[in-house]
Amino acid sequence: MPPASILLVFVTVAVAMEVLPDAAVFGGEGKSLTLTLERTSHNGVEMSQLRDRDRVRHVRFLQQQLTGVVDFQVEGTYDPFIVGLYYTKVKLGTPPKEFYVQIDTGSDVLWVSCNSCNGCPTSSGLQIQLEFFDPTSSSTASLISCSDRRCDLGTQSSDSLCSSQNQCGYRFQYGDGSGASGFYASDLMYFDTIIGNSLASNSSAPIIFGCSTSQTGDLTKMDRAVDGIFGFGQQGFSVVSQLSSQGITPNVFSHCLKGGNGGGGILVLGQIVEPNLVYTPLVPSQPHYNLNLQSIAVNGQILPIDPAVFQTSNNRGTIIDSGTTLAYLSEEAYDPFVNAITQTVSQSVRPLVSKGIQCYLTTSSVSEIFPPASLNFAGGASMLLKPEDYLLQQNSISGAAVWCIGFQKLQGQGITILGDLVLKDKIVVYDLAGQRIGWANYNCSSSVHVSTSTSNGKTEFFNAGQIDNGSSRLDYYEMIPTIVLAFSLHVLSLWWHIYIL
């Protein structure tokens, strides 16, 4: 090695050791990191094969060490009179292209509208620019064939199809009667990754997603049109599962959907940490996020509802679904719930029925006169509901506000669906590794702490709320260790290619 190169590498590594935290250079807690030297016999193996093998090993090593948190900005609101959905942006392809997609915990697959799509809107009432994905315009895109073993994963999430061109296809049917169909593609997804207190912008990973060539029902309407749907389910084709299996993120995601002041919120592939979180187990072997709801209380009084109404069985039970705007109760639970609320406030408001929905006319603040409610789940976890979590303001009459029950009645289906009306203004953590879901009431305009996995095995916390502001995302000085380390690795890589290869 030339003396100048030796000096450069020495100085670079020395600077890195000076600037990086102890845990990043040593073993943490002052313990040195010991590497065992192993001598490999060639036995006729080419050097290029050894290098390829080492590269794979190094990628795995870095993935195990640097599992982080992926942050998404959130737009939209639960209010059906404004938007009625929450959405985010994803970047796909090379060069990367941005797509607006609805956040949906009730489905599994990320899909976007593709070129030559039949029924896909070309403009949106949300004042966003709609785009179409074209696999031929991305240098890193590839199509999934029917013979590809990964195509089998699609059967977990949709009706699988096989086109005459041997393309692995899908057909989704949603609860509102809308649908989408197309084919699966693989391409790079770009995102911001938080590792410790450092931000790696424009990280990327290959993922499989849907390329929709046909849409039906409400998906064809322009008023709330987005580019696609971002499924956050548990199946193998969900982005959460794909990034977790690659070691990029932990097998957990969290959101905090803001209810008022224009909506928005926080969405991370990672675990939001909050002392008041309570958890309940997921019902195993279910296609959705099913929970064991055991009872409902209004103003502290348990309602006379047969617990069998909430039991999970075939297509029955309680589901958490961010793709649903309102909330739904089975008939056996809906009537006692509404009656209890009406009886509690009968002296303070004027009850009225509008289009078959129980409403109330009042000049007072609903938080002062309407009772709290709670949904009580297995494991002792209760979801506390403020009046704004079960009421919707519709209009006014002679200066009095009209508030209506936001929960809807599902007759003869035995299903309870907790949508954005209930999920807003709460931290919700989907711990897929632990098979549980947790929540806590929270001001989603505030920042949150996020648990990140770092190389020293410690838990650190990051203010994810600042990330979503989109301004100064991280303090410059917090990024110095990452910058120095990246520069050091870059210099070593150049030296390796020039003098070794």
Each residue of 406-444: pLDDT tens digit?
999 998 888 999 999 999 999 999 999 999 999 999 999
Instruction: Judge whether residue 200 has pLDDT over 90.
Output: no
Instruction: Give, in words, the CATH class of 69-270.
Output: mainly beta
Q: Rounded to an integer, what distance in angstroms lies between the CA atom of residue 309 and that of residue 329?
A: 10
Q: Which residues are catalytic?
A: 104, 321
pLDDT digits (tens, 9 = 90+) for 146-182: 999 888 877 666 677 888 788 999 999 887 889 999 9
Instruction: Judge whether residue 496 has pLDDT over 50.
Output: no
pLDDT, residue 259, reads: 94
Instruction: Judge whether residue 374 has pLDDT over 60.
Output: yes
Instruction: Judge whether residue 47 has pLDDT over 90.
Output: no
For 416-461, give the DSSP string. EEE-HHHHTTEEEEEETTTTEEEEEE--TTS--EEEEE-TTS-EEE
DSSP letter for 101, please. Answer: E
Tell me the domain boundaries of the chain.
Answer: 1-29+471-501, 69-270, 275-441
Higher-confidence residue: 76 or 64?
76
69-270 and 275-441, same CATH topology: yes
Q: What is the arithmetic mean of pLDDT over 17-41?
A: 32
Q: Rounded to an integer, what distance in angstroms lies between the CA atom of residue 414 and that of residue 409?
A: 10
Q: Rounded to an integer, what distance in angstroms lies between the CA atom of residue 345 and that of residue 298?
A: 12
pLDDT, residue 21, reads: 36
Instruction: Judge whether residue 39 has pLDDT over 90.
Output: no
407, 328 in Cβ contact below 8 A? yes
Instruction: Judge whether residue 105 has pLDDT over 50.
Output: yes
Domain 275-441: CATH architecture, name and number where available = Beta Barrel (2.40)
**Helices and strands (H, E) in the chain, number of each type:** 9, 31
Other Cβ atoms within 10 Å of 48 Cβ, number? 9
- Cα dihedral across residues 13, 15, 17, 22: positive or negative: negative
pLDDT, residue 364, reads: 92
Instruction: Judge whether residue 353 has pLDDT over 60.
Output: yes
